[in-house]
Amino acid sequence: MSHKTDCNGSRFSVDCPSRLLFDQVADKWSMMIMTVLNGGGTRFNDLKRRLEGVSQKSLSMTLKRLERNGIIARTVVASTPPGVLYEMTPLGMTLLPPFQAIYLWANNNMDAVDAARVTYDKEHRES
């Protein structure tokens, strides 16, 4: 099923499927999870340890969203105790280059962003 016509002529329409998908895969936890999973399959508790500040609920919800969208795969591992392994799918791997570009941009431009924030804050101080 093609969703191109569902956007009513605008990719910025609130009901546009690509806008909804972007909202589900481009948030901070999704991007961080995909970055971690780029190194290979990872168990839930390992993800939680590596993603400082993520709650168990947020991690679980984000993983379910990414799995539903075909970005990651979830595999139950027969071990004692049983575990769950998450890994990138081929579709998910196609998202890594643009996300890595955003990450590099942020690292390379943090000084300029900090300077812009300082300038903005000085110019917009409330008296």
3-state SS, 51-63, equals CCCCCHHHHHHHH
What's the full length of the chain, in residues? 127
Mean pLDDT, residues 78-102 taken together: 91
| CA atoms within a 13 Å half-sphere pointing along the CA-CB vector of 67 | 13
pTM above 0.85, yes or no: no
User: How much is the average pLDDT of 50-58?
Assistant: 95
Residue type, 122: K
Mean pLDDT, rounded, for 22-34: 87
Model pLDDT, residue 14: 78
6: which DSSP letter?
Answer: G
Domains parsed from the chain with CATH numbers: 4-94 (1.10.10.10)
Beta bridge partners of 77: 83
Specify the pairing of strand 72-77 against strand 42-43. Answer: unpaired
